[in-house]
A and B are shown apart, each in its own frame.
Chain A
């Protein structure tokens, strides 16, 4: 199939970028979106131009590196799918596809479609852990029973791959789905309870410092999340935060 791509090109974080149009031919439905981008790049390299840079690594939908706004939706039109797992059969011959980087003050562009998501790391550094030493001398694993329903819920919150689609989709570029998923994972487990107060306060403070917007409950994040992280996590974080603020 033949496609027209409109791709954001930006030489570095300081440069002014713009959309450039690239026609492409010979796209096969079995290709993943990134394999289609590989072909674009192979063509550019052969012409002596700089290829389009984009983050990607595992190409299995689990590392969370890939991050493209495709036709106005993070990771493209298919639900519960990362860009690397999006296949070209979802598009039609003759389509025009707009490809942009995540846009958020908390995710400055590094080059082309690559953004700096270190803000997510810093939010986690602020408290997304249990402060146990890695000595291996903790109590036996089965001495901490966890109700299965809670364990499953914590697991579901923990499936977040940190790709940033929630921020990209949100009209306010809010990072609350991400932050709340991390808060929830620990809030739901007995291991995390001890530090719950400090954790939620510190993580929310860091999230705010990174320049993300506020949540206005549009729910776009949940719909666009490739792992289906639920809005319920945000409610839980709000609750945890209130508890921390009022009860200390």
Chain B
């Protein structure tokens, strides 16, 4: 085991980033023209980075598996983006945003990175507005804010329920501008299949043209991985169907350490699974918890009756309901952070109190809000003696104005009317805090290979706060990576063009072709989805919201067996030299089958509960997470070593000089 150097600059926290920028190497504009950079993934982080790098003068090639960068899954973020602008004058500051993020991440992130994130958060908003991103505004024409995810200030900027799409379109427009100028060459419908290293440095990638099946070589002076998270290792998640770990995992296999794979965010407000055919889960904005109350029946008999369809939740008397979040966490109630809310729902459902036929759902009830808002509405509209029915009708109108699109979405998917019956929700895999280990410059352990956005292990520690993912993606892409990469590239100005006609490229292409060949020539027993679903079940049952030693050990074995079976028996129809979606899926699932095992190993290694990682052995008497700062205040970075279970652990110790480590309490 070695100790990793994060290369955090010296000096006071608030000055580190400025000082660092003042002292890192720069590349002169004439030299930038001779330097090529590959960016894999064109979501918020990749798109923003590619646009900025091109603007600085580098020649950029972008790669994405979709037909257009605009479809990257950053697009699905609903709620908003945090920035310490303090426009509301409610005492927000860079330090507060930094502190909230560190605390929300359960003290498992790097102070200097998080502070940098807070520092540049304001620039993101300035930048996006200048680009024409249509954020929500107040009547005075200035930007509107809302509060989000259990923090005490209003710092979240938003564009109705589709902030992610609007920010992505902003980054995409910046990218388009550079494409139009010829500074970015887009390779859409392309998938990175391998990283090519020459003399230990990242010098290019092997990619497959997903339309023609051609295997292509692309050389560059540096490679940026911005390919998102790996939530789809669970099969069912809120990620897009195509979201995958391939680019990051291939990089890991070529020597980049993979950090904290077990830190997964399970989002509490998703639509429950309805049947076996389910292909993905749909998230509803967490903002619903501002007005909805979460409950299950108090009596197990009532729960049974509801599960069997003999009783409707709406008919249950008030005293027979258990508002378990309000009961357990009186201070924050329904607004506790995501990890806490998710675990509490699982606890109730595991105890048998779930409220749909699978027993895997809890109620999110707006009845109280209908009454509360209805009363205000009736009084302010001069309707002093409104009947209860009238008040409820008025209240429903208010809720419709606030969440109409979410209610419609729920109704469309479930065929139930949430204005009449309480919504049913259940937690689902949503975001992965783990990823490629990077130093302060966002460089992985492979020189010349950088990682940005959800693909790196990032700034969120063990749990991410709401509205922080968009912030981190854009911060990395627009304002961090384009500068820190210069520190590396400054030494590359004499390298000259990167040839792809080298032994290293030959070998990488050969490896890639062999792998495809092997996938195409399985025994043809089971489809790719068969394996993916099996893997997902193992992950969900044994590495999901709560974990224990025995389960994790058995998960590692089961995944290893499943992986062996996959390589022997997988069935990929069609041919490899044409568009072949099954082959694409097969390659991705093959990597998930390796990542899954490392995931379990990482969870097994971390003998504490923190953030999204909850080990049943490590909890307080009241069932709350028990963190162990003495032994586990470090980042686990795993070095690839053939078999995932043999991966070598490296530690980056986390030093907290500016915040005091506290137990997160929401009681």
On whether A and B touch (CB less than 8 Å), the answer reads yes
Task: Please give the distance in Å from A55's CB to the nearest CB on chain B.
Answer: 7
B130 and A132 contact, CB distance less than 8 A:
yes
Q: Which of A16-24, A25-33, A240-248 contacts B (4 or more CB under 8 A)?
A: A25-33
**How many residues of A sit at the interface, in one of the four size bands?**
35 or more
Hey, which chain A residues are within 8 Å of B72, CB to CB? 63
Say whether, besides A185-B134, A186-B132, A64 and B70 are in contact (CB < 8 Å): yes
Binding site of A, secondary structure by majority: helix, strand, loop or mixed?
A: loop
Mask, B522-535, CB within 8 Å of A = 1, is 00100101000000
| Residue among A30, A45, A116 with max Cβ neighbours from chain B (10 Å) | A45
- Compute how far the CA of A196 lies from the CA of B442 in the bound complex, rounded to whole angstroms: 38
Say whether, besides A50-B574, A59-B240, A159-B165, A136 and B188 are in contact (CB < 8 Å): no
B278 and A42 contact, CB distance less than 8 A:
no
B120 and A136 contact, CB distance less than 8 A:
yes
B582 and A45 contact, CB distance less than 8 A:
yes
Mask, B93-136, CB within 8 Å of A = 1, is 00000000000000000000000000010011111111110111
User: Does B89 count as interface, using CB distance less than 8 angstroms?
Assistant: no
Task: Please give the distance in Å from A105's CB to the nearest CB on chain B.
Answer: 17
Q: Which of B4-12, B48-56, B644-652 contacts A (4 or more CB under 8 A)?
A: B48-56
User: Does B179 count as interface, using CB distance less than 8 angstroms?
Assistant: yes
Hey, which chain A residues are within 8 Å of B479, CB to CB? 136
A39 and B75 contact, CB distance less than 8 A:
no
B279 and A59 contact, CB distance less than 8 A:
yes
Hey, which chain A residues are within 8 Å of B578, CB to CB? 11-12, 111
Hey, which chain B residues are within 8 Å of A118, CB to CB? 67-68, 188
B527: contacting residue among A42, A159, A185, CB under 8 A: A42
A136 and B124 contact, CB distance less than 8 A:
yes
A50 and B85 contact, CB distance less than 8 A:
no
Hey, which chain B residues are within 8 Å of A12, CB to CB? 578-579
User: Does B143 count as interface, using CB distance less than 8 angstroms?
Assistant: yes
Task: Please give the distance in Å from B113's CB to the nearest CB on chain A.
Answer: 17
A142: contacting residue among B142, B241, B524, CB under 8 A: B142
A87 and B412 contact, CB distance less than 8 A:
yes
B188 and A138 contact, CB distance less than 8 A:
no
User: Does A232 count as interface, using CB distance less than 8 angstroms?
Assistant: no
User: Does B274 count as interface, using CB distance less than 8 angstroms?
Assistant: yes
Say whether, besides A12-B579, A128-B176, A134-B52, A35 and B279 are in contact (CB < 8 Å): yes
A49 and B573 contact, CB distance less than 8 A:
yes
Say whether, besides A34-B279, A39-B277, A136-B479, A55 and B76 are in contact (CB < 8 Å): no
Hey, which chain A residues are within 8 Å of B241, CB to CB? 56-59
- Compute how far the CA of A124 lies from the CA of B177 in the bound complex, rounded to whole angstroms: 9
B67 and A134 contact, CB distance less than 8 A:
no
B134: contacting residue among A116, A127, A145, A158, CB under 8 A: A158
B68 and A162 contact, CB distance less than 8 A:
yes
User: Does B252 count as interface, using CB distance less than 8 angstroms?
Assistant: no
A136 and B126 contact, CB distance less than 8 A:
yes
B126 and A141 contact, CB distance less than 8 A:
yes
A111 and B579 contact, CB distance less than 8 A:
yes
The chain A residue with its CB closest to the CB of B283 is: A60
User: Does B159 count as interface, using CB distance less than 8 angstroms?
Assistant: yes
- Compute how far the CA of A29 lies from the CA of B415 in the bound complex, rounded to whole angstroms: 9
B415: contacting residue among A89, A145, A151, A161, CB under 8 A: A89
- Compute how far the CA of A223 lies from the CA of B371 in the bound complex, rounded to whole angstroms: 36
Hey, which chain B residues are within 8 Å of A211, CB to CB? none
The chain A residue with its CB closest to the CB of B573 is: A50
B180 and A125 contact, CB distance less than 8 A:
yes
Say whether, besides A64-B70, A121-B68, A53 and B581 are in contact (CB < 8 Å): yes
Which residues of chain B have a CB within 8 Å of any CB of chain A? 48, 51-52, 55, 66-73, 75-76, 85, 87, 120, 123-132, 134-143, 159-160, 162, 164-166, 169, 172-174, 176-177, 179-180, 186, 188, 211, 238, 240-242, 274-275, 277-280, 282-283, 409, 412-415, 478-479, 524, 527, 529, 571, 573-574, 578-579, 581-582
Closest 3 CB pairs of A and B: A145-B141, A136-B123, A129-B173
New A-B pairs, 8, CB < 8 Å, besides A62-B164, A142-B87 = A30-B275, A60-B280, A114-B579, A125-B176, A130-B131, A136-B123, A136-B126, A185-B134
